Each structure stands twice: as structure tokens, then as C-alpha cells.
Chains A and B, each alone.
Chain A
């Protein structure tokens, strides 16, 4: 707290100040003695001390109010506008509102508008009216059959997630573990199995395809999958390698002795792998279907595993196998899928289709069981991509990314587990 002398000196300062303004003198006319002022300073209300000196003192002549008087020739409205524009607060607000406006414009052009447009084009793409206009959607043809390729398999319902009870009456939580594209990364696969505390007796493994090729130990990966009785789907790499192998068997491998004169020079690695597989491994890979129907899982509807993707609205039996193993994008008019990355991702159309299905079945007796959830791989570039009805698990392990597992617990809860991978792309 300030001492009395201090506050006394303060009051002196104040009187000094006012005397500088020359105001003290004029007031002294009405109040003859300074001591009386000093006394009233501590007793009277503050309003008594207001002297409005800014109106009379030449010291404040440079302020806008006096300036206005000087430009009194200009019309009043201009004066008003000028006074508003020159006010600092106004400038501050202009800046704030300008940036808000800019944010709104940018948000509209780059975020909201494209999203609305996409929403509209996806809805249009699924409109049966449009199907009439374009003459039909993908999947109406009589699907060709292929030798040595299994189109569809259904998972044994006993392997689905559940709280099974063993002989001693103890509950065993049964899990499904779905693993993305391994590409021969055996070490990483073993690490991942450890990470999810894989138990051969209670858990079932499913691979989303492309278990082989590119990486260091394709055969080792096949051995592990076989050893654990895993399920799998056919990826584009299995497809090429297995077709080459069947071709070699049919034409007798030794005939491929034509050296550099032989047509194919680009797929030497696949040819080598096709030769390296033993009959047992090849036969096991041959059983991997293009599409695996896992069955109903709580909160997920019907779960389907396919390597690259599915065309929405087409029955599993009628999905074109080449497309299922290779698609990235889909044509919104005709629903023709493509391996090109240019265009609309198939997952967007699929999710929109499922959400439309959901709005029609949610109150019906079927409910959520009418919905499909696709678990897929193939798209390492987009890495882990989880959407309501599509789960992309390829996180580019072989190129030094991660190896991903989706663990579906006994109660249908899903959990993502990942391990870091070595980069094998240079080798």
C-alpha cells in the first residue's frame, strides 16, 4: 500500500499537470483557494473534477473533431463515411470480416461444393432412372467361367467371432484376424501375429490377397498361412503367378528355353516364383477364391473379403473376377470398374450404395443383416482406409510401410493392429 506522503505527492503532480493546461487558473476564479480543492479531492464525487478541457484547449486541436470543422465544406454524409472509415475499430473489423469471407469462399469452393457435387453425382450414379438412360450397368452379362479360378467360397460359420464354450465350461472368445497384403514379408507377419497374441485354437486368420511376390519370402508366408489353416482370397499377384504356373505345367516348363526371343521379359520374377512354388503350396493358393463370404458379424452385416473391391449392387456370384482383383476406381455412369487410379474410388460408390440400402432396410425385418461390409487390400497408396462399409487394410508393408491386421473380437468389435516393416522395394 502507498504511504500518505506518496499520495500527497501524487496530488501535487496532478495539480501541476492541470496548471500546465492553464485550466487551473480559470477554475481558481470560482474556487479561490487551492487548499479547498485539495480537501474536496478526497471528499467530493469524481464528476466535479471533469473540466472538458478537450473542447477549449488548443493542445487537442489536432484531433479529428477539430479537423472536421476545417473540412466543413464537404457534405455531411462524406464526413460521416470518412469518420467511419478512418476509425481504427472499423479497419479492424474490415480485416476480420474480409478474412471470414475469404475463408467461407475457400471452404465452399474447395470443401463444401465438391462434397455436395460428389454426393449428387454418387446419388445420380445409383439412380435406376440413369441405368435406363445409359442402357445398363456393369454386371448384367453372363459371367464367363475360368478354369482353375474359384469365384466364391463361404467361411465355415464355426469360425465366426463368438463366445464359444469349451469342454470345461470355460468361455473362449473366438476372433477373426484379417491381414492386409503381406507380399512375402514373413518376418513382419510373424511379428504381427505376436502383436495380436494369435492363438491357433481360438483365432482364425484371413488374408486379403497378395500374400506373395515382391517381398523376401513368399514361400514362407504361404507355409505359415497353410500351417494355421488360414482363409485367403486371390490377389492380382496370386492370379498372375498361378496362371503362369498352370501355363508352364500345361506346356511343359522346359519349353521356356527360348531365352531373349521369348515374348515375356517383364514377368521374370513372377515366372521364377511360379517355378519355386511346390505342388502343395500352389494347390493351396489355387483354393483361394476371388471372393470370400465371411458371413454375418454383429454390427457389420454380411462381411465379404475381396482383394481389390466389389461393384455395388452386383451379386457376389456375378462379380467380374479380373475387376475384383484389380479395381481402384469406378465409372459413375456405367459402373465399369477400372484398375486406373483416375476417377471416383469404388469405395465412395459402395459406401453411398450401402447407406441407401440402410435407409430402406433399417426399419424392416432384415435390418442391418442386409448390409455388406467389404474388407480389402490392394490399395497401398491410400494405406489404411476405414469407412463405414469398406475397410482397406493394405498399408504398403513391402515398401517399408506397415502390415495391418483387423481383429474382429468375439462381440463384433473391431480393432486395428499394425507393425512397422522393412523396406524391400529396392531389393
Chain B
């Protein structure tokens, strides 16, 4: 049902050919086993690549003009994460959920009813791999109940090669975009934190969004389920959640007017208060 009938469109193929013809081969294109350039990186910041739409910070303005009706947001997000996980599995790229998405997984392995974004991570070598072979590819999925299915686009932020947290405008390294609604998933690359490693933290990892981890916190990944789909989660998930959101986030049964129902294991929406009663 979720088999990807990937329709691969290599948009940048022609221009890439032109560049390759009149320039020396780029280091990263000929590298074999080295995951990153070790030359000095003078460039620490770049212009913003991914723009948010004018109407909502979590919609891609190139594919939408307005936000989805509230009741359609969660089904769209669910399709978004399933198609993403399915595609990454097909490609063979290891990816895992993090931050708010990991927290919603903790509660009932479903997206929070009040959510409008999804956070996933991949390793830096995987990001290079996606950039080299899958940037700007479109993937078409037949989705039950959706006539004609939906097309999703994987787009890599070219500034992902800048490894500095000072590049504040490009903290998101890639997007998985639902071209029908403009909703997207933020993909961040987890990188070796060379500076910290030199100062005696052999497992230090970082993301451009400023989050720092240790290898042993994340790896080896655990296989679980999210939105009824196989998903990978970080090794020390409880510890990571407690550190990021505090103890009450994984224990308190009410949040933003929603109540966690211990019978149905679902988050019940805010109770409607009728003005006449």
C-alpha cells in the first residue's frame, strides 16, 4: 500500500553537467570514504535557503496559499511521515525521530493532535548521500482515500556543507515536502562536533540548530513503531526526552487543554464550553 512509485525527476541534471564541464571536479563529488572536507572552511554563514510561507511558518509557500483545515492537518502529517520513512527505508538511509515527534511517540506512538511539524534526523554522511543522488527528487505515493495520490519532494539545503552553528538561517538541512499542501518535515543532519572532540569528548555530536548529543545517546537506534509504521528512535530515548522537555512532559496527562485518556490511550481534545450552560 505504501510502496513508493518513485518518480525521480532530476531537475538539476542539465545545469550540473554544464558546471562539471568547465571546472575542476568538486572535492565532495570525488570523495570515496571521507564524509566531509577537512580544508579550512572560511564560509561560516550563507543566505537563507528554505523560506517559510507568509501565512504560516510551517508551510512551504511555493506549494500552498493557505493553511489546511484543522481536521485535515493530522492526516496530512501522518501521510507525510509515513511516506518519508518508507522512502528512506527504500533508499537505505538511516533516519530517526527526535524532539517533539519523539515526545509524541513516547505518549502513544501517534502525532500529537495539536502538532503541525515533524522532526527527524539523519547522519551527516547520509546527508551527503541524499544530496548526491536524491536532491530535488519527487516521489509519488498512492494514498488510500486520496484520489490521484500525492507527490512529495526531497529538497536538500545546499548550505548543509557549512558546518557552523553560526549559519543561523540554514539550521534545517533538508525538507520532505507534501507538494499538495505545502506541509513539510524538517530534516537535520547530526554531525561530529570536532571542536568538542578535540577537548576530550570523543562522542560529541551536534546539529546546526545548536542541539548537542553524544553518540551513545543516539546509537544504536531502536526499532519501534510510529503512526503504525516502523520507525527508529534514539537509544536513550527516556533520558533525551527528560533532558529536553523535563520530567513532567513525560508524565503529566494534560497539555494545551488536551487530556491523555488512559483507557483509549489517545489525547482527548479541549472540552467545548457551551456559552449557554
Contacts and interface: CB of A to CB of B under 8 A. Distances in A.
A146 B35 CA distance: 31
Contact of B220 (A145, A243, A320): A243
B247 A264 contact: no
A261 B125 contact: yes
Contact of B106 (A141, A263, A331): A141
Contacts, number: 111
Interface string A338-360: 11000000000000000000000
A156 to B, nearest CB: 29
A146 B251 contact: no
B251 A263 contact: no
A146 B109 contact: no
Contacts of B235: 240, 243
B251 A335 contact: yes
B196 interface: no
A258 B33 CA distance: 6
Nearest to B214: A266
A320 B239 CA distance: 12
Given A135-B248, A264-B215, A266-B215, A140 B262 contact: yes
Contacts of B203: 264-266
Given A243-B235, A334-B251, A142 B265 contact: yes
Describe A's contact surface by its main secondary structure.
loop
B109 A144 contact: yes
Given A244-B220, A264-B215, A338 B242 contact: yes
A240 B87 CA distance: 27
Contacts of A136: 251-254, 260
B252 A266 contact: no
Interface in B220-237: 220-225, 230, 233, 235-237
- Nearest first, the 7 closest Cβ-Cβ pairs linking A and B are A135-B252, A147-B223, A142-B265, A243-B220, A336-B247, A334-B247, A136-B253
Given A141-B107, A240-B235, A264-B219, 8 more contacts: A136-B252, A140-B262, A142-B107, A148-B223, A149-B222, A261-B125, A320-B238, A331-B247
Interface of A: 134-138, 140-142, 144-149, 240, 243-244, 246-247, 251, 258-259, 261, 263-267, 320, 322-323, 326, 331, 333-339
